[in-house]
Chains A and B, each alone.
Chain A
């Protein structure tokens, strides 16, 4: 979680002399990370405070702009023209000189000011409106007026940044979620004091009592949900300032530095305290609280309230509300209600500082879809002991800046008693964890600087946790962490672990997966990594039932509802999306598929799949897919066989099961053209899919050595005419098993057309004959072929072609 923090504000609570850059670098290494630095003065560069000496009308009649003579601390006054309607002699104004950057009339981009001649008068600068220098929120004024800074004590010529106290740097700090105590100026100051060894200047303010001469005003506080509201403190104050008055600049500039907009003095004080102490606060208009009561309770079913953002919301019983005697006035820890908010005519306010259960606040904010600065802090868990200091600070500021007077005692409902959190601590253990020796003195110094209390010496200490760290400190380990980080991780050496290297646990499947990926890449395929999460449509289009797949109970959208059981549907979608620019191609993926198992985690099956697609309806895609698969099978040494397959999303005449030692280990198939259509695929797709682990169990691990033949083989070609329906596989098997001399059969051509009868095809093969004992004679080979062709003729009706 990030917070914008002004360096000047932090320095109010810690004695630092470091430059902003040095401070940012050092604290980032040991505490909250200063992710960005925003020097504030730069944007007011070449702007100064000027005082109007003289205002003259323009010599030309009818021209509204006037000629102003300004004291800007130089010997000669600066003369320029200005259209501002509120110019008066003696007024202090913001003068932007040549080279400064302003936003004309508060609109458009920043523009660098150049000397200009306006209505015949040369101007080397301009008098600015607040919106022209980005300060409209702090200094609202009507259109055509200029910004009046007569209240500034600064002399003419003082740089504006200095005069306004904006010679500052704002840091964007990232504070980890376990450290809401550091998510505020005082917390950051405390961290800074520990890390940089500077003096921490904060003192806890004193809880107020009713102001002198005030009669205590009536207020009742009742907490009906003590588990979710563990502390509720409130105090009534009368306020006194002219209607419509804005907060003092000191308050305003701090709010702006933290990215908040000033609203009115009371609301600004609650925000100021939240930024400074990390404790969100709320202020109610006392006169709007029915029955002068505050009741903290869970919402009733269907209860509604108009919230401060102008949206009416309906509540669930799990939502915690702040109510008056009759109705809800705020959603606890999230946002106030419109009705009871502090308005222009508010005379009396109730300041609230409370502690709520972090989980309850998070769930309420989520369910109402409202995230606020308050809910962000409460969600992280705040200590009950923080409320009184924050309330006291709010009272102090209200007295100082809003004419506030305390008009009640502090009401305090607390359900969690205060208790000291303590843990034992062994310095030796800390050193072992950190890896170097740190002196006991240094360890103590670090812990004390962060507010921890220490008792004991020697090997075992007892450490008391300050209230602001009660939520994140859970034991001894945390103290070691505090010591290590403040000591500085950067100051630790970098050492290779010396221990023994484990010899167990090598998973050959992971290496096989890598090898497979490299193989298919080498074969010219592009790897896909599609989402494991798929829509129901992927199953439906493939004639599969989504109910067989694992469903996500809270999917992001219907596109990511199920876990996939096959990689094929993803391929089909990918092909559809790419076919316009890539009408043919080869893809592969090696990823998990997820199969349901009753009462157990699903079977995560590492699946290897490849697909070839293009505008071809003959057997070429099938053969290419099969070839890719077979090349891989040969590479890894798995001997496979095939059997025809039907069903699923596959083409009924172009599908085979892959068998290894008789076991089903995958399939190769052209996708059914109707399924392709459903996915919007224009051409055809042929794919294979193999569960990798199962497939590789059939691997023959070592290639066998066969001695190089001593006698040369005899090679012959054989072309057979057979009926169309006769498959090559049958011819191949019959040939190989038909003669001990025949060592290899290789298909090289299948031909239909001229010279071959209709309904028949010519199948041409290279045959290799050999014998290990001798060189075969031509007569022996001829005899073998004759015997083989006779068998083929008998079995398949095959005839030898010329």
Chain B
């Protein structure tokens, strides 16, 4: 029996080695190695052997079976890889055909800028808030230290709502700036304040560089021991994060009624890198002598703090704010000749972004 097993195993190994077809190998496996195979039949005879011999033959049979199985596995694996190699030809597709894409959606440029600005200020503890777009004169002007005869309060600068005048709060207006939110924020009676107010603003102007509805963002920080140096810190953080680490800001004196001192915030030009001159020596046409105006800022005027019932002898703060549209255009390099295109809802414009 031992020799029969040995011969059979050798024959099987030889046959496996000679097989070159995966399908034939599978059939071979069933016929010659399966339950009803000759090999198995032989093994069934093991039970008839005396116990001593049975142990010896049994262990030999096991070893042979493993050998045959190993030969089979090796062959199968060999044949499979050969067949996979042929896939390249059999199942070749044109990989240059465009992908099947989900339909592309678009966020408005202004929304993209708002999301980015919000994220940046969130990192330094400024919480985004929203205040009314339709607002009382008191919040939009009076509380911001703007006297009744201030030009911004004239009917040719600001939209007035056709509504009864409030004895307490004056006329109803469409807010011309996000600064209207300053005293509203103070009235929440939580100190310190770190807010970023982003919203729609309205002014009575429409031409290539003005739209009657636009967006501003306004930062306000109220705390003890706040100085101009802190405003610089926050503005620099924003400029470097939003525009890039090689950009710097500068403050220049300016004038707003609700801040004192007031500043114009400039950022170094990204085209000429703050030199005002291009490589060839020509004047940079994008900026003014190397700088671009970013927006306004200042130290909150004591009268504004008083309007918000905050003691200016104890607390101080700064505010900054400017147009979202302009900031976005300055960053993206989208040179929009006519700003009105932003809110015309022309798909040829919207779907570029």
Contacts and interface: CB of A to CB of B under 8 A. Distances in A.
B255 A436 contact: no
Classify the interface of chain A: helix, strand, loop or mixed.
Answer: mixed
Given A478-B260, A581-B348, A502 B229 contact: no
Interface residues of A, number: 92
A523 B213 CA distance: 28
Contacts of B253: 30-31, 176, 481, 485, 489
A489 B155 contact: no
Given A33-B264, A179-B255, A507-B130, A502 B190 contact: yes
Interface of A: 24-25, 28-31, 33-37, 176-179, 359, 362-363, 366, 379, 432-436, 472, 475, 477-478, 480-481, 484-485, 489-490, 492-497, 499-502, 504-507, 509-510, 514, 517-518, 520-533, 550-556, 560, 563, 570, 573-574, 577-578, 581-582, 585-586, 592, 594, 599, 601-602, 604
A179 B223 CA distance: 30
Contact of A552 (B103, B127, B129, B160): B160
A602 B134 contact: yes
A436 B229 contact: yes
A442 B206 CA distance: 47
B149 A552 contact: no
A532 B200 contact: yes
A531 B127 contact: no
A527 B350 contact: yes
Given A496-B237, A526-B351, A556-B204, A37 B289 contact: yes
A554 B155 contact: yes
B134 A531 contact: no
Most chain A C-beta atoms within 10 Å of own C-beta, residue among B130, B166, B193: B130
Nearest to B260: A477
A297 B255 CA distance: 33
Given A526-B347, A601-B135, 16 more contacts: A176-B254, A178-B255, A432-B316, A435-B228, A477-B301, A489-B250, A509-B130, A514-B118, A521-B105, A526-B351, A527-B111, A529-B343, A532-B213, A554-B160, A556-B212, A578-B347
B54 interface: no
Nearest to A563: B134
A359 B105 CA distance: 51
A553 B162 contact: yes
Interface string B144-170: 000001010011100111111010000
A280 to B, nearest CB: 18
Contacts of A586: 103, 105
Nearest to B229: A435
A484 B261 CA distance: 8
B129 A507 contact: yes
A527 B347 contact: no
Nearest to A493: B229
B348 A529 contact: no
Contacts of A24: 289
Interface of B: 102-108, 110-111, 115, 118, 124-125, 127-130, 132-136, 149, 151, 154-156, 159-164, 166, 172, 174, 188, 190, 192-195, 200, 202, 204-206, 212-213, 221, 223-230, 232-237, 250-255, 260-264, 288-289, 299, 301-302, 316, 342-348, 350-351
B228 A484 contact: yes
Contact of B128 (A379, A485, A507): A507
Contacts of A570: 345
Given A489-B250, A494-B236, A505-B129, A176 B263 contact: no
A34 B289 CA distance: 9
Contacts of A594: 133-134
25 contacts: A31-B253, A176-B254, A176-B255, A436-B229, A472-B255, A477-B261, A489-B252, A493-B229, A494-B229, A494-B233, A497-B223, A497-B226, A499-B221, A502-B190, A504-B190, A505-B127, A507-B128, A510-B128, A517-B107, A526-B350, A529-B108, A550-B134, A553-B155, A556-B206, A604-B134
Contacts of B351: 526
A552 to B, nearest CB: 5
Nearest to B128: A510
Nearest to A178: B255
Contacts of A362: 151, 154
Contacts of A500: 192, 223
Nearest to A530: B345
The 5 closest A-B pairs by CB, nearest first: A435-B227, A524-B103, A435-B229, A481-B261, A501-B125
A153 B115 CA distance: 67
Contacts of B260: 477-478, 481
Given A526-B350, A528-B345, A533-B212, A28 B252 contact: yes
Most chain B C-beta atoms within 10 Å of own C-beta, residue among A496, A506, A551: A496
B174 A433 contact: no
Contacts of A560: 212
Contacts of A602: 134
Contacts of A578: 345-347
A497 B234 contact: yes
A336 to B, nearest CB: 24
A528 B350 contact: yes
Nearest to A506: B127
B279 to A, nearest CB: 19
Contacts of B193: 502
